[in-house]
Every structure is written in structure tokens, then in C-alpha cells.
Amino acid sequence: MINRTEHLLICVAEECNEVAQRVSKALRFGLTEVQAGQNRTNAERIMDEFMDLTAVLAMLAEANQLDMDSSNMEAKLKAKVARVEKYMSIAREQGTLS
């Protein structure tokens, strides 16, 4: 038997997989594609899955299992953006990114 925290961590893993799956669909068919039987674009569905993930992370934070301090998160987001931009620049220099 698992506890609440473990259950929520499983949910985090599942939601990460759902974000990844929707991103894969967008890479294959485009961000604006609407899958048959759906009424939302892949871009909208990526954000839906991201919000599901965010909700479960917030539940873990409310249970004092994660620190989602907004000032700390903003600095970390900025640092991540800088790292991604740095590596995109290297990829451009290597000719692997247009």
C-alpha cells in the first residue's frame, strides 16, 4: 500500500508522460492540428496537460513535500531560459538548428 505522497508522485510521472506524448503529437502533426474526435489543437492540449501537472505539483507543495516558493521559482525559470538559449546558440553554430 502506498501513501498519499507516493500516490501524488505517481500522478506527477503520469502527467509528465502525458505532456511528452502531446508534445510528440505536435512534433509529428503540428501545434495547430486538431486530432480526429477532438476539438482542441495540440498546442491547447499541451497546455491542458501542463496545467494538470502543475495542479499535482501544487498538491505536493500544499502537503509540504515540494517547495514552490514563487521568488525562488522565478529565478530558476530565468536561469533555465538562459541555459536553453545558450545551447540553442551552440546548436546553431554546429548547423543542427536553423
Per-residue confidence (pLDDT) for residue 71, from 0 to 100: 79
For residue range 58-71, list pLDDT tens digits in order: 999 999 999 888 77
At 44 the three-state DSSP class reads helix
CB count in 10 Å sphere of residue 19: 19
Model confidence pLDDT, tens digit, residues 70-79: 778 889 999 9
pLDDT digits (tens, 9 = 90+) for 16-50: 999 999 999 999 999 999 999 999 999 999 999 99
Per-residue confidence band for 2, with pLDDT thresholds at 50, 70 and 90: very high
d(CA 47, CA 42): 9
Does this model's pTM top 0.95? My answer is no
